[in-house]
Amino acid sequence: MESDSGKQQQKDTFGCFKLVALIALCFVLVSPAESFDPLDPTGNVTIRWDIMSWTSDGYLATVTLFNFQLYRNIMNPGWTLGWTWAKKEIIWAMMGAQATEQGNCAKFKLKIPHSCKRDPQVVDLLPGAPFNMQFTNCCRGGVLTSWGQNPSGAVSSFQIGVGLSGTSNKTVKLPKNFKLLGPGPGYSCGPAKVVPSTAILTDDRRRKMQALMSWNVTCTYSQFLASKNPSCCVSLSSFYSDKITGCPPCACGCQNNDTCVTRDSKILQENVTSTHRKSDITPKPLLQCTHHLCHVRVHWHLKDNYQDYWRVKIAIINFNYRLNFTDWSLVVQHPNLNNVTQVYSFEYMPLLPYESINDTGMFYGLKYYNDLLMEAGPKGNVQSEVLMKKDKNTFTLKQGWAFPRRVYFNGDECMLPPPDSYPMLPNSAHKPPTTITFIATYVVFTLFFHLIVTHF
Ligand X SMILES: *[C@@H]1O[C@H](CO)[C@@H](O)[C@H](O)[C@H]1NC(C)=O
Query: Where along the sequence are the contacts to ligand X (CB under 6 A)?
Result: 42, 44, 46, 48, 66, 68, 169, 194-195, 213, 216, 218, 254, 257, 266-267, 270-271, 273-274, 276, 322, 324, 338-340, 350, 352, 358, 374-375, 389, 391
CB contact at 8 A, 279 and 214 = no
Shortest Cβ 390–ligand X spacing (Å) = 6
377: left (phi over 0), alpha (psi -120 to 50) or beta: left
The CB-of-156 to ligand X minimum distance in angstroms stands at 12
Structural element, H or E, at residue 309: strand 309-318
| CB of 401 vs ligand X, minimal distance in Å | 15
On the 0-12 / 13-18 / 19+ scale of CB atoms within 10 A, 17 is middle
Which C-beta is closer to ligand X: that of 100 or that of 324? 324
**What is the smallest separation between the CB atom of 64 and ligand X, expressed in angstroms?**
7
Contacts of 11-18 with C-beta under 8 Å, sequence gap 24+, read 13/399, 14/419, 14/420, 17/399, 17/400, 17/418, 17/419, 17/420, 18/418, 18/419, 18/420
Instruction: Classify residue 80 by burial, with Cβ atoms within 10 Å: 0-12, 13-18, 19+.
Output: middle
Nearer to ligand X, 113 or 361 (CB): 361
- CB of 177 or CB of 273, closer to ligand X: 273
SS3 at position 7: helix
- Per DSSP (E only), the strands in 193-258 are 193-195, 199-201, 208-210, 213-221, 232-238, 241-245
Q: Smaller CB distance to ligand X: residue 245 or 336?
A: 336
Q: 223 φ, ψ to 5°?
A: -60, -30
Quick one: 102 or 339, whose CB is closer to ligand X? 339
Q: Between β-strands 80-84 and 90-95, what pairing exists: parallel, antiparallel or unpaired?
A: unpaired
Between residues 193 and 430, which has the closer beta carbon with respect to ligand X? Answer: 193
Angle 305-309-311 (CA atoms, 0-180°, nearest 5)?
Answer: 60
Q: How far is the CB of 340 from ligand X (least distance, A)?
A: 5
At residue 65, what are phi and psi to the nearest 5 degrees? -105, 130
Burial class (CB in 10 A: 0-12, 13-18, 19+), 307: exposed
State in angstroms the smallest separation of the CB of 285 from ligand X: 10
Choice between 213 and 287, CB closer to ligand X: 213
State the minimum distance, in angstroms, from the CB of residue 66 to ligand X. 5
- Write down the least CB distance from residue 16 to ligand X, Å: 26
Single-letter amino acid code for the residue at 20: V
Looking at beta carbons only, is 98 or 214 nearer to ligand X? Answer: 214
